[in-house]
Structure 1
Amino acid sequence: MASVAGAAVVVGVDGSARSMVAVEVAVAEAALRHRPLRIVHALSWPKLPVPLPPGLTETAPGLRQQARGYLSEAAGIAGRVAPEVAVRTSLVTGRPATVLREESRRADLMVIGERGMSGLLLGSVAMELTSQAPCPLLVVRGEPRPTGAVVVGVDGSAQSMRALDFALEEASLRGTPLVALHAWAGTDSTELDRDVAAKREQWSGAAQEQRVLAETLAGAGDRYPDVLLRRQVVRGNAGSLLTDWSHTAQLVVVGDRGRGGLARLVLGSVSRHLIFHADCPTAVVRGTDPITDAGETARTEGHRRGAGSAPADSASTPAFRL
């Protein structure tokens, strides 16, 4: 997958225990990818019934000191887990989802915990980032495990091809097998068979779905000869089947949405299901590459200017060079 040279793995922290687990996962990913780690905390004012004057957050030194404490704790964890990884911390004033979305524009990978101190991180931040973050998003759920396969859901769409590329890279970096799961229902249609002359009722079935998976995986072995590839074609619900796999997998990977038109909602529902129910970390890979998509970059930049985010308060931690 295309990415910016030198781009960091970015992890969002809020002081919660789950966000510190996310730091452990993120720094391990950074070490595998030979990337630096950027630890970000979004400093936002608690919701009040009346609006506050601009810049009032800057006059709350207690909150800022607490936030710096979260970042220091996270940097210490990263240094203990992977001391060879270069770590930077960043304190940014703004809404967490907005801050992390902006960070994701320059990231190789974004990592967040399943929930935060308020218990709302998964619902408010992860859901927003799965549909808007330009880079792959890794939601840390369950207990991270060092063993087990990487499992990817594929459906024959261009979007799932990006998920497959990400999953192949992860399996190669982790030295573990990759399970490519294609779940189908009797009414499924894919981009690989849309021009087939035969009627759907004559063509649809297990043999056709095997063809869809085979064509999706064509060339994967040449690109990643070190990855043991296992294929599964199963008739059933993709969300449930991938959730079952998450009990033994070390990572589940899906695209942010599925096939075109109304069916586009199908894989979107799968990704939403997994970030709520998976028993292992789950990566959601978007179907476009905004790092090289000028239109997407322009739209995001325009939104950022409108949001009026304050500049980051960044500090490097060279002792961790980490």
Structure 2
Amino acid sequence: MRHRIDDLGTVVVGLESAAGAASAVHLGWRLAQAAKATLRVVSAVSDPIVDVVTAGVGLDAASHHEGLIARRRAELTTALDPIVPSEVLNAVITVDLGRAEQVIAHQAHRFDAALVVLAGAFPSGGERPAGVARHLLRTLKRPVVLSGPRAGDIGRVVAAVDVSFAAEPTFRFAADLSRLLGTEFEVVHVVAHPDVPVEWAGSPHAAEGLADSGVRAATEMMTTLLSEDVPRRISRGEVLATLRAEAEDDAGALLVVGDQGRGWIHRRIVGSTTEALLTECSAALAVLPLVRPDPT
């Protein structure tokens, strides 16, 4: 499935709180303007402890909820007024009661969002919304972008590709993002340090030979996939650490990866680079959900 973003239609920015809202909305607004798309800002609000207390003493829960929603709208309006024109702002904000992943998924489906931007992690505190991102990737099957602390200043898009079926759609999606944002663009592949079988341990050149084989496979893939004018680079190292450094060492970078949608058993036993990046990488990160082709 090709996720084309030439005509995004609607970009939804999903917020668990007002923290980090400015950076995420800056990026969402930038994408929406470039694609001539509609921006929607969705925020979830809930206070289950107060809900229980108000119900127990017979207070008006509806009034309490209205107050929560009004306060969140006011917080967002204050935070976003310098970014989105005031005449647009009130019309694009939706605040709803419930868990963040459910509210954002529901509203993204309602608005038929082609792309969802989430506020990412920040040095001043707050956790990466990895759980919300995972839920959206699994249920909506739409690309999710987690903003970094300077997502509005993105000047470079990096497509991280492997040698699987995921390489082409990841590259094309990243190239579309780069074109919309007007940034520099590069494709990277990381050749992991190979695990040498025990029976090869006596051969000093075994690991080097396996790594060279990985470089040759990556070179062939890039030659087939990319036109000559596309910058590309092959690195050697631990994949997760190398990709994190690629993104986090450049505050203006947006790292783009594909999520092959493997089941929870595979992710738990074997692990997933995309899963780890969602949790650990503090830089701007775009994840493209992919479906493995039917071998038949």
Asked whether the 8 Å contact 1:39–1:71 carries over to 2, the reply is no
What is the rounded CA distance, in whole Å, between the counterparts of 1:210 and 1:178 in structure 2?
Answer: 22
* Post-superposition CA distance 1:6-57 (Å, at most 9, x none): 631111234433122211111111122221100111232334695987xx75
**1:218 alignment partner AA:** T
* Distance in 2 (alpha carbons) for counterparts of 1:181 and 1:241: 10
1:215 paired with 2:221, answer yes
* Secondary structure class of the residue paired with 2:44: strand
**Per the alignment, in what secondary structure is the counterpart of residue 183 of structure 2?**
coil
Residue 277 of structure 1: how far off its partner (Å): 3.9
Equivalent in the alignment of 1:12: 14
Paired position in structure 1 for 2:183: 176
Instruction: Tell me the distance in 2 between the aligned counterparts of 1:36 and 1:24.
Output: 14
Distance 1:273 1:111 in 2: 19
C-alpha change, 1:256 and 1:9, in structure 2 (3 Å) is same
1:107 aligns with 2:108: no
Measure, in 1, the Cα distance between the counterparts of 2:255 and 2:143: 12
Q: Is residue 62 from structure 1 mapped to residue 92 from structure 2 by the alignment?
A: no
- What residue ranges of structure 2 are gaps of 5+ in the alignment? 197-205
Distance 1:59 1:84, change over 3 A: closer
Is 1:243 aligned to residue 248 of structure 2? Answer: no
User: In structure 1, how many angstroms separate the alpha carbons of the residues matched to 2:90 and 2:222?
Assistant: 37
After alignment, is 171-180 or 245-254 more displaced? 171-180
Partner of 1:254: 257
For the Cα contact (< 8 Å) 1:258–1:266, is it kept in 2? no
Q: Partners in 2 of 1:7 and 1:266 — Cα distance?
A: 38
CA–CA distance in 2 between the matches of 1:114 and 1:40?
15
CA distance in 1, matches of 2:53, 2:167: 43
Give 1:142's aligned residue.
Answer: 149
Q: Is the 8 A contact 1:42 1:99 kept in 2?
A: yes
Identity of aligned residues (%): 23
Q: Does 1:278 align with 2:281?
A: yes
Structure 1: which amino acid aligns with 2:232? R
1:92 has 2:96 as partner: yes
State the distance in 2 between where 1:85 and 1:33 align: 18
- Find out whether 1:232 has 2:233 as its counterpart: yes
Flag structure 1 segments of 5+ consecutive residues without an equivalent: 189-199, 290-322
Cα separation, 2, equivalents of 1:262 and 1:235:
28
In structure 2, the partner of 1:42 is 44
Distance (Å, rounded) in 1 between the aligned partners of 2:89 and 2:8? 13
Q: Equivalents in 2 of 1:229, 1:262: separation in Å?
A: 36
Q: Is the 8 A contact 1:163 1:253 kept in 2?
A: yes
TM-score by length of 2: 0.72
1:269 aligns with 2:272: yes
| 1:260 Cα deviation after fit | 9.7
Query: 2:107 aligns to what SS in structure 1?
Result: helix
- The alignment partner of 1:151 has SS state of strand
User: In 2 relative to 1, CA 278–114 (structure 1 residues): closer, same or farther, beyond 3 Å?
Assistant: same
Q: 1:3 to 1:43 in 2, by over 3 A?
A: farther
* 1:127-180 residue CA offsets vs partner (Å, 9 max, x unmatched): 433544421111112333636431121112223432222111122223333222
Q: Give RMSD over aligned pairs.
A: 4.1
| 8 Å CA contact 2:8, 2:115 repeated in 1 | no
Alignment CA distance shift 1:145-1:10 (3 Å) = closer
Letter in 2 for 1:111: V
The CA distance in 2 between the partners of 1:267 and 1:80, in whole Å, is 47
* 2:32 aligned residue: 30
Distance 1:87 1:156 in 2: 44
Q: Which has the higher contact order (CA 8 A, sep 6+)?
A: 1
Take 1:230 and 1:92, find their aligned partners in 2: how far apart are those partners?
Answer: 44
- Distance in structure 1 (CA, Å) of the matches to 2:128 and 2:223: 35
Question: Are the structure 2 counterparts of residues 104 and 217 from structure 1 closer, same or farther at C-alpha, using a change threshold of 3 Å?
Answer: farther
The reply on whether 1:119 has 2:160 as its aligned counterpart is no
Q: Does the C-alpha gap of structure 1 residues 278 and 182 become closer, same or farther in structure 2, counting only changes over 3 Å?
A: same
Cα deviation for residue 67 of structure 1 reads 2.4
Distance, in Å, in 1 between the alignment partners of 2:147 and 2:93 is: 20
